[in-house]
Structure 1
Amino acid sequence: MNIKALAARLEHLESRLAIETLISAYANAFDVMNRDLLQQIWHVDSTLDLPGFGAAGSRDDIMSMAEQSWRQMPHMHHWMANPLIQIEGDSANGTVAANCLFHDVEQGPVQVSGLYHDRFERRDGQWKFVSRRFELHYLTPLKEWVPILGSERFQVGS
């Protein structure tokens, strides 16, 4: 294998790792209410569409929407799985499955499942989200679900 081909493979792997890190950072930022981390993963002109939860047309709007979500659902747990990512130069598209457990202040515990449809761009050497759209598969109230163990930070009502 020549050096040019090896360099291209390495760049592809580094890009994929950077994109998978963005996907994980999104889940972690929402789950621990980390405003700084959430802000870092979006380009300024990015969009977020979460049918049933809200839509945002810029990074500032995304941050406002997140803060509203944190007031409505102070306990979130996202699990992201099965990322399929296609990278072409400085652009990429992907899908990732999501299963989420939320404690909504009005509905109580709910489980949400679906598929994220993502677009990413590398600008000034950094990969970030350009758009993220959630395809809701189901939202299920978990009326009888009550955690019996866990850290105090994640107990319902804390």
Structure 2
Amino acid sequence: MSDIQTIADRFEIEVLRGEFTDAGMMRDYDRFASLFTPDGVVRIPDINVEFVSREEIRAGIERLQGLWDYFVQTAHPGTIQLEGDTAVGRAYIAEFGRMRDGSSHLNYAVYHDRYQRTSDGWKFTERVYEVRYLDTTPLAGSAPHAAPGSMRES
């Protein structure tokens, strides 16, 4: 593999990880599911969650997002190890939000990833979410709610 191909692959995987965070924050469940291979898997062991297939991932993430009043995820670059048409990597996450039941969550986590090059570009084959720190102290702030039709809803 040429150095240019390695750079391109690493860049495309970083874009994939950015799309994941953006699709989740924007509640774009179809786009979210499309980032995985058809048999892709999302695992969140701390809450005993496993979604297998794009269909389960789409339905599952929509259900989980529906539990949040507001949610913010910030992704930080981690590692990528290329192995031809597959790769493994980690991304580091900071999240906070308030659930509809009033509970708050601030956590730092690691995504342990597996990727596959497809005809549609790089996709996740597996994403495992490992919480490294969790704080359930009530958050002092709040999310401003946009007026119907405002630009904030896009």
TM-score with structure 1 setting the length? 0.84
Q: Which residue of 2 aligns with 1:109?
A: 104
Percentage of identical aligned residues: 21
The count of corresponding residues between Structure 1 and Structure 2 is: 145
How far did 1:39 drift?
Answer: 2.0
**Counterpart contact for 1:30–1:76, Cα < 8 Å:** no
Q: Which residue of 1 aligns with 2:128?
A: 133
Q: Which residue of 1 aligns with 2:149?
A: none
Unaligned 5+ runs, structure 1: 154-158
Greater shift in the superposed pair: 102-111 or 57-66: 102-111
| Counterpart AA for 1:152 | H
Q: Which has the larger radius of gyration?
A: 1
Q: Which residue of 2 aligns with 1:152?
A: 145
1:14 paired to 2:4: no
Greater shift in the superposed pair: 72-81 or 129-138: 72-81
| Coordinate RMSD, CA, aligned | 1.7
**Counterpart contact for 1:114–1:135, Cα < 8 Å:** yes
1:79 paired to 2:74: yes
| Counterpart AA for 2:59 | S
TM-score with structure 2 setting the length? 0.86
Deviations 1:87-136 (A, max 9, x none): 11100000111111122112432112111100000022511000000111
Matched residue SS, 2:130: strand
1:69 paired to 2:69: no
Unaligned 5+ runs, structure 2: 147-154
